[in-house]
């Protein structure tokens, strides 16, 4: 197996440091992927808490922006402030009820997929997307996926987690397998 070419002009020390960073990130990716597979409930709870925290911080940012934005109109300031309060309140709800926040997230994804599927079907029937069978297939798959997600939200969220964890492990292992060899770096 041949090594991929190293970037021209890049000093060996830089590549060695970059290689070390890639190894560290890949190992962390494998570990996080395994944690998600071995303890899905704890991982989902962590995701829910992080999601809630993000919403609180995002809401507070919008509220602050409503008061300090130098060139925003009064209407834009009010909109930003009201949205900020709603987003922060949703974040607090997610933090108080993390399990339910995941179900809400699944519903949002499900409704989004159904809407996207219906749009694809209509676009295909109107000739906007060609060939027609691709638009119909895409639309039907999206509507089915959305319906399953709405019908079985807990299973959907767990499935997203498992697939994401497997992909994280696969990408991390692939990164480790495609690193430049140390002997190649040393010979530069």
pLDDT of residue 140: 97
Give residue 105's pLDDT band: very low, low, confident or very high (50, 70, 90). confident
Average pLDDT for 9-18: 54
pLDDT of residue 184: 54
pLDDT of residue 173: 94
Q: Residue 29 pLDDT > 80, yes or no?
A: yes
State the DSSP string of 33-99.
Answer: HHHHHH-HHHHHHHHHHHHHHHHHHHHHHHHHHHHH-TT--HHHHHHHHHHHHHHHHHHHHHHHSHH
pLDDT of residue 83: 92
pLDDT of residue 73: 86
């Amino acid at each position: 197996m041949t090594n991929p070419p190293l970037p021209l002009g890049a000093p060996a020390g830089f590549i060695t440091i970059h290689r070390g960073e890639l190894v560290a990130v890949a190992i962390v990716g494998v570990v996080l992927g395994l944690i998600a597979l071995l303890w899905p409930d704890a991982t989902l709870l962590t995701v829910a808490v992080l999601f809630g925290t993000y919403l609180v911080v995002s809401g507070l940012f919008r509220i602050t922006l409503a008061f300090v934005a130098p060139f925003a109109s009064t209407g834009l300031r009010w909109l930003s402030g009201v949205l900020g309060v709603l987003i922060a309140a949703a974040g607090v709800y997610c933090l108080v009820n993390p399990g339910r926040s995941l179900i809400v997230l699944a519903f949002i994804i499900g409704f989004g997929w159904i809407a996207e599927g219906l749009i694809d079907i209509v676009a295909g029937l109107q000739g906007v997307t060609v060939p027609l069978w691709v638009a119909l297939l895409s639309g039907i798959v999206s509507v089915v996926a959305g319906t399953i997600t709405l019908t079985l939200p807990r299973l959907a969220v767990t499935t997203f987690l498992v697939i994401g964890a497997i992909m994280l492990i696969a990408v991390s292992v692939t990164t480790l397998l495609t690193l430049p060899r140390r002997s190649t770096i040393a010979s530069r």
